[in-house]
Chains A and B, each alone.
Chain A
Amino acid sequence: MSFVREFIKKAWESWSTRIGIVFLAILIILSILVVLTYPMDFGTRVWSNPSYWADNPRLAPPIWASFFTMAKTPTHTALKLNQPTNMLEEEDLTLMEYSVEINYGYDDYPSFLHVLIKNVTFYSTRPPRIEVWIGRPDSLIVRLTSFTIRGPSPTEEPPYRRYVESPYRIILTEDSSSILNLIYSLNEKYDSNITLDEVSTIGSERLFFGCPSKLGGRGFSILRGPYRLYARVYVYDGLGSVGEVDFILGGKTYGLLGTDMIGRDLMMGLLYGFPASLMIGFLASVLVTSIGTFLGVLSGYIGGRTDTVIQRSSDVVLNMPLLPILIFFTFIFREFGMRFLLIILVLTAFSWPGLTIIIRPMVMQIKTSQFIEAAISCGASRRWIMRRHILPNLAPFIIAQSIFLVPSAILAEAALSFLGLGDPTLPTWGQILEQGFRSGAIYLGYWWWVIPPGTLIVFTAITFLLITIGLEPILNPKLKSVI
């Protein structure tokens, strides 16, 4: 393994390789962290599952984006309660109150208000009833909505469990009872005449966190101050319970990298892109390098008819237009599943000839050297010579070439994903970019949806290129002074 040590020593001498290796280390560490913390079926179960993202604001820019506008935009807030904040027990009735305080001091309305009820258990045939209330800084207290949990069916045995798999979600800002109750109370208190039609055009968030402006007419102004949101659960058997009550105030900004059209946290998807692209890049590079080297060594060492066949077929394959062919095959076979493997295989099938053609003359040169002659005279087999004498001599060159192949595979996958041919079970940066582009992100100014994935693709490609620049003296031993 001395050639590997030699190789690393030589590579480390170059500045750009050192930077490249540091970048690569960052990529690899992030990938490992993601692989360890993300679920295996992240793509299908989380990323491509809209219900997972139902409580996120849509198309929200990153939190730090509001620093530039100086306005205090509402941040995304999820308040979760496992225990009731108040409890009132009577003979056959338990009242559990889940209450949260929000000090609203933002310059904008939130994008929505959700209440989630999870894991309800009850024993009596009379099911629990839930009420949602809001207490505003202008001392207006409104019962927004109330509903009764679905009662037991005739065959069901207690305990009756509800909303275990997925929570019961009340979208207060779209709930007609809440909106009507608020309109009624606001009109009464402020002597205004808000109508339902009006609310549907200006947005119902204003009813919750604003008040009709004193000037009359259509205006609303934000009402800052302490709000109290609470859910009252009436249970009729003294034993029933609620697992969790969540109040979610949809922000106008979200997380470090914002959200997309269906509220997906882009940071999660972008982080997943690290292992995904590295895997695609390395796998394709290993396959192309092994096939290319194998055929190149075979062609150069054995010669004769084998050589002619391999060289002619690599000439033919090399001159095929790569991207159209890639698109064609990925599209035709897209329904067979495992599309990222398909992309890697097609990429391999059409990019091995480059290496084969470069390696052949090198093998032919080594073949004429005396140590090969010596090995032959000792009775070494052709396979032995190729494996033990020729390959180690080529090794530094092959390693350098294989590093060079990684970014081209990553870029090819990104290009295919960008054309909508990516693997939906394996979200990559190219796919996020494609979804952004298809949804018109660049024409509507959703920069956080397209700039980060593109930057990451470019960053990864540059990382590998920086490493190869330093390897130039190995690839091209004659060349002494490179950067």
Chain B
Amino acid sequence: MIKPLFYRSLTLLLVAPAILLLMTLTLGLTGISDRILVSMAEQTLQEVKKSLATQIHDPSALEAAIQLRKQEIYSSYGLDKPWFYRMFQMVIRIATFDLGRTRVIKSFTGSQEVSEIILERIPNTILLVTIPLIFSAIAGILIGVKVASRPGTLLDRLTSYLSVISYTLPSWWIGIVLIILLGFYVKIFPVSGMYSIPPPSGALSRILDLIWHSILPFTTLVIVQIGGWVYSARMIVLNIAQEDYVNAARARGLPEDIVRRRYILRVAAPPIVTNIVLGLSGSLGGAIITETIFGWYGMGSLYYQAIMTLEENLLIALTYIYTLIYISARIILEVMYLALDPRVRY
């Protein structure tokens, strides 16, 4: 029983290095990595040239000095060796959580350490993405289980249609509609950002300001997520309710309440828990588009910023961390499954 679990976990662990390799190979093979570094090296060289020109006046000596410095600079950027040496080092470095520094993007405190930038953003993402997720999961599952106990009724149909619509609605779409309606026409919520400009003084009013700014994104995410939860909870419960052993339990004359609790919900729990854990781990990656729309400084908008400015280090580190969070959740689930569902045997 332990051995297959070990193999599955090992496969999942492979995902992280696979992502790292995929991204570095792409950056290396397309020559983008070289291009970024050459432009950085050239920029440094320009400054060096200027300062050298003030010190050395003999043209040939100047040229020789510049050539010497050029080689130094290029090798300091690792440009004297082919890209895969550099990339290989980078993979090892990031895999061991030495995330490196950025070129342009800075943290709010001005640091260029990738790890600091990411750590700073995580609470913002939790606030924006994780809280609505927990809310809609709890509400959605409660509704889903409730309507599933009476399948086919008007309420059930209505809920199902609404949940399908909610599931299809992209978050950016609801975000835009809400911003136009409640931010532009009825000016009761701010259209963008996390704090007012200038931010209010005092801790309490700052927190209130933050809550005021997060109401629109919160509503948006709940609207688009709750349907999925209702629908999946309903489907899981309905699927189980049609199993033979449930019918058998009813035939034995067990009260409906016991049938529901012990025979249906007990079995429905593991897949629902799976959804919650996967949703939570996925949410830490941040909602790239939602954060962009609401001008929220989270992990998602950081990823977008990183790709637009081609911050190699930040980009790869971020993807690596998303993946790590996700696969750790998957491994935890594999273990939890054994505990939650007595039928699971590898």
**A positions within 8 Å CB-CB of B:** 16, 312, 315-316, 319-321, 323-325, 327-329, 331-333, 407, 411, 414-415, 418-419, 433, 437, 442-445, 447, 450-451, 454, 457-458, 461-462, 465-466, 469, 476, 478-483
Whether B277 sits at the interface, judged by CB under 8 Å, is: no
| B323 and chain A: residue at smallest CB distance | A321
Residues of A within 8 A of B12 (CB): 315, 319
Given A316-B14, A319-B323, CB of A328 within 8 Å of CB of B304:
no
Q: Flag if A437 contacts B242 (CB, 8 Å).
A: no
Whether B168 sits at the interface, judged by CB under 8 Å, is: yes
Whether B191 sits at the interface, judged by CB under 8 Å, is: yes
Whether B108 sits at the interface, judged by CB under 8 Å, is: no
23 contacts between A and B (CB under 8 A): A320-B15, A321-B322, A321-B323, A324-B303, A324-B318, A325-B19, A325-B319, A327-B288, A327-B303, A328-B315, A332-B27, A333-B30, A442-B180, A442-B191, A443-B179, A454-B173, A461-B170, A465-B164, A465-B168, A479-B242, A480-B242, A481-B152, A482-B238
Which of B157, B165, B172, B288 gathers the greatest number of chain A CB atoms within 10 Å? B172
Q: A-facing mask of B272-306, CB < 8 A → 1, else 0? A: 00000000001001001100110000000001100
Q: Flag if B318 contacts A414 (CB, 8 Å).
A: no
Q: Flag if A332 contacts B26 (CB, 8 Å).
A: yes
Q: Flag if B304 contacts A437 (CB, 8 Å).
A: no
Measured between C-beta atoms, what is the minimum distance from A172 to chain B in Å? 34
Q: Flag if A483 contacts B160 (CB, 8 Å).
A: yes
Residues of B within 8 A of A415 (CB): 170, 172, 289
Given known contacts A415-B172, A445-B185, what 9 new A-B pairs fall within 8 Å (CB)?
A319-B15, A332-B32, A419-B288, A442-B191, A454-B172, A462-B165, A469-B160, A481-B152, A483-B160
Q: Flag if A321 contacts B319 (CB, 8 Å).
A: yes
Minimum-distance CB pairs A-B, first 5: A454-B173, A461-B168, A319-B15, A321-B322, A483-B160
Whether B192 sits at the interface, judged by CB under 8 Å, is: yes
Residues of B within 8 A of A444 (CB): 184
- Taken together as a complex, chains A and B put the C-alpha atoms of A481 and B157 apart, in Å, by 11
- Taken together as a complex, chains A and B put the C-alpha atoms of A325 and B23 apart, in Å, by 9
Whether B37 sits at the interface, judged by CB under 8 Å, is: no
Q: Flag if A458 contacts B169 (CB, 8 Å).
A: yes
Whether B188 sits at the interface, judged by CB under 8 Å, is: no
Residues of B within 8 A of A418 (CB): 172, 289
Q: Flag if A457 contacts B30 (CB, 8 Å).
A: no
Question: Which residues 59-86 of B sit at the A interface, judged by CB distance below 8 A?
Answer: none
Question: Which residues 166-225 of B sit at the A interface, judged by CB distance below 8 A?
Answer: 167-170, 172-173, 176-177, 179-180, 183-185, 191-192
Q: Flag if A414 contacts B170 (CB, 8 Å).
A: yes
Residues of A within 8 A of B152 (CB): 481
- Taken together as a complex, chains A and B put the C-alpha atoms of A316 and B22 apart, in Å, by 12
- Number of inter-chain CB pairs below 8 Å: 131
Whether B142 sits at the interface, judged by CB under 8 Å, is: no
Q: Flag if B304 contacts A419 (CB, 8 Å).
A: yes
Measured between C-beta atoms, what is the minimum distance from A318 to chain B in Å? 9
Residues of B within 8 A of A447 (CB): 180
Given A465-B167, A476-B239, A483-B160, CB of A328 within 8 Å of CB of B172:
no
Residues of A within 8 A of B104 (CB): none
- Taken together as a complex, chains A and B put the C-alpha atoms of A462 and B161 apart, in Å, by 10
- Taken together as a complex, chains A and B put the C-alpha atoms of A478 and B244 apart, in Å, by 11
- Taken together as a complex, chains A and B put the C-alpha atoms of A79 and B282 apart, in Å, by 58
Q: Flag if A469 contacts B285 (CB, 8 Å).
A: no
Interface bin, chain B: 35 or more
- Taken together as a complex, chains A and B put the C-alpha atoms of A458 and B157 apart, in Å, by 20
- Taken together as a complex, chains A and B put the C-alpha atoms of A451 and B151 apart, in Å, by 35
Whether B11 sits at the interface, judged by CB under 8 Å, is: yes
Measured between C-beta atoms, what is the minimum distance from A298 to chain B in Å? 19
Given A332-B26, A454-B176, CB of A469 within 8 Å of CB of B164:
yes
Which of A332, A411, A466 gathers the greatest number of chain B CB atoms within 10 Å? A332
- Taken together as a complex, chains A and B put the C-alpha atoms of A415 and B290 apart, in Å, by 10
Measured between C-beta atoms, what is the minimum distance from B166 to chain A in Å? 11
Residues of A within 8 A of B285 (CB): 321, 324
Q: A-facing mask of B293-334, CB < 8 A → 1, else 0? A: 100000000011001100000010011001100110010000
Whether B18 sits at the interface, judged by CB under 8 Å, is: yes
Residues of B within 8 A of A465 (CB): 164, 167-168
Q: Flag if A478 contacts B165 (CB, 8 Å).
A: no
Residues of B within 8 A of A478 (CB): 239, 242
Q: Flag if B326 contacts A319 (CB, 8 Å).
A: yes
Q: Flag if A319 contacts B160 (CB, 8 Å).
A: no
- Taken together as a complex, chains A and B put the C-alpha atoms of A457 and B26 apart, in Å, by 31
Measured between C-beta atoms, what is the minimum distance from B184 to chain A in Å? 5
Q: Flag if B184 contacts A319 (CB, 8 Å).
A: no
Q: Flag if B180 contacts A437 (CB, 8 Å).
A: no
- Taken together as a complex, chains A and B put the C-alpha atoms of A469 and B167 apart, in Å, by 12
| A321 and chain B: residue at smallest CB distance | B322
- Taken together as a complex, chains A and B put the C-alpha atoms of A458 and B164 apart, in Å, by 12
- Taken together as a complex, chains A and B put the C-alpha atoms of A155 and B121 apart, in Å, by 69
Measured between C-beta atoms, what is the minimum distance from B33 to chain A in Å? 10
Please tell me which one of the listed residues A323, A445, A457, A476 contacts residue B173 in the complex, with CB atoms under 8 A apart: A457
- Taken together as a complex, chains A and B put the C-alpha atoms of A42 and B34 apart, in Å, by 37
- Taken together as a complex, chains A and B put the C-alpha atoms of A465 and B167 apart, in Å, by 9
Residues of A within 8 A of B172 (CB): 415, 418, 433, 454
Residues of A within 8 A of B239 (CB): 476, 478-479
Residues of A within 8 A of B304 (CB): 327, 419
- Taken together as a complex, chains A and B put the C-alpha atoms of A430 and B86 apart, in Å, by 38
- Taken together as a complex, chains A and B put the C-alpha atoms of A415 and B242 apart, in Å, by 38
Residues of A within 8 A of B235 (CB): 479
Which of A328, A445, A469 gathers the greatest number of chain B CB atoms within 10 Å? A328
Residues of A within 8 A of B318 (CB): 324
Residues of B within 8 A of A433 (CB): 172, 176
Measured between C-beta atoms, what is the minimum distance from B19 to chain A in Å? 6
Q: Flag if B30 contacts A407 (CB, 8 Å).
A: no
Q: Flag if A328 contacts B23 (CB, 8 Å).
A: yes
Measured between C-beta atoms, what is the minimum distance from B316 to chain A in Å? 9
Q: Flag if B184 contacts A445 (CB, 8 Å).
A: yes
- Taken together as a complex, chains A and B put the C-alpha atoms of A447 and B182 apart, in Å, by 13
Given A319-B326, A320-B323, A327-B288, CB of A462 within 8 Å of CB of B168:
yes
Measured between C-beta atoms, what is the minimum distance from A417 to chain B in Å? 11
- Taken together as a complex, chains A and B put the C-alpha atoms of A16 and B19 apart, in Å, by 40
- Taken together as a complex, chains A and B put the C-alpha atoms of A427 and B318 apart, in Å, by 31
Residues of A within 8 A of B157 (CB): 483
Please tell me which one of the listed residues B164, B185, B326, B330 contacts residue A321 in the complex, with CB atoms under 8 A apart: B326
- Taken together as a complex, chains A and B put the C-alpha atoms of A312 and B9 apart, in Å, by 11
